[in-house]
Each structure stands twice: as structure tokens, then as C-alpha cells.
């Protein structure tokens, strides 16, 4: 089975711009979660989508948004970029059904975003 894929792998933007990141989950996985990883804060949960609905959300400002399509692919958007948004953005997919074993998450390679 192919793993989780993310595009693009690297991105350079300037303050005030917006950016869209894409994630394709493992075939058969219906849940996609997004995380931000920085050296200081570690891995922080942004949000989770399951069957095209946002099921859970972390403590990030409204500039961070996402969506999920009917084929389970997901996009994340960050508007009005700030210098502090520079980070590795990771998506992870899981089966997503109820029950602990269905929540094993598998990560994609990440998108490295640099905001200048």
C-alpha cells in the first residue's frame, strides 16, 4: 500500500500571503489529521477530518483552516501568513472508525513552510 503523500514538500512564502497544503491518505483511511511541528513547541494538533467533516480542532487561530474531500484527500490553508507560521506541517491518516485500534496514525513526509 502506498503511504501518506503530501504536496508540496517545500514552500517559501512572504508575510501576508496565504498557502494551501495537500495531503492524500493511505487507501481506505477516512481520517486525516494535521499537525504543526516546530523546535520549540514540538508536535501540535491542528485539526482532524473524518468523512468530510471536521471532527476535532486544536488551539490554533482561525487563519488555519482545512477541508476534506469525498475521496478522503485533505487540504489545509493558512491565510495572512506570519513569521511564526514557519514550521513543518504534517498530516497523518488513520482508519478513523470508533475503537482505539482504528486510531493508529501514519504520517506523511511533511511540508516544510518558510515564511520570510
Using the contact rule CB under 8 A, the part of the chain among 10-18, 19-27, 50-58, 71-79 near another protein is: 50-58
Residue 34 in the binding site for another protein (CB under 8 A): no
CA nearest neighbour of 40 among 84, 103, 102, 82: 84
Nearest-angstrom CA–CA distance, 57 and 113: 21
Closest CA to 6 of 82, 92, 95: 92
56 and 47 Cβ atoms separated by less than 8 Å: yes
Residue 14 or residue 65: which is nearer to another protein going by CB?
A: 65
Q: Is 60 in the site for another protein (CB under 8 A)?
A: no
| Residues that contact another protein, how many (by CB under 8 A) | 25
Residues that bind another protein (CB under 8 A): 33, 35, 42-45, 48, 50, 55-58, 88, 90, 92, 100-101, 103-110
Amino acid at each position: 500500500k502506498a503511504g501518506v503523500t503530501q504536496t508540496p514538500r517545500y514552500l517559501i512564502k512572504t508575510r501576508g500571503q496565504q498557502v494551501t497544503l495537500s495531503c492524500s491518505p493511505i487507501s481506505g483511511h477516512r481520517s486525516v489529521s494535521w499537525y504543526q511541528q516546530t523546535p520549540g513547541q514540538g508536535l501540535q494538533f491542528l485539526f482532524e477530518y473524518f468523512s468530510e467533516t471536521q471532527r476535532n480542532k486544536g488551539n490554533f487561530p482561525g487563519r488555519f483552516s482545512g477541508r476534506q474531500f469525498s475521496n478522503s484527500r485533505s487540504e489545509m490553508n493558512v491565510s495572512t501568513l506570519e513569521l511564526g507560521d514557519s514550521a513543518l506541517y504534517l498530516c497523518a491518516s488513520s482508519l478513523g472508525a470508533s475503537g482505539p485500534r482504528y486510531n493508529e496514525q501514519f504520517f506523511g513526509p511533511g511540508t516544510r513552510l518558510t515564511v520570510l
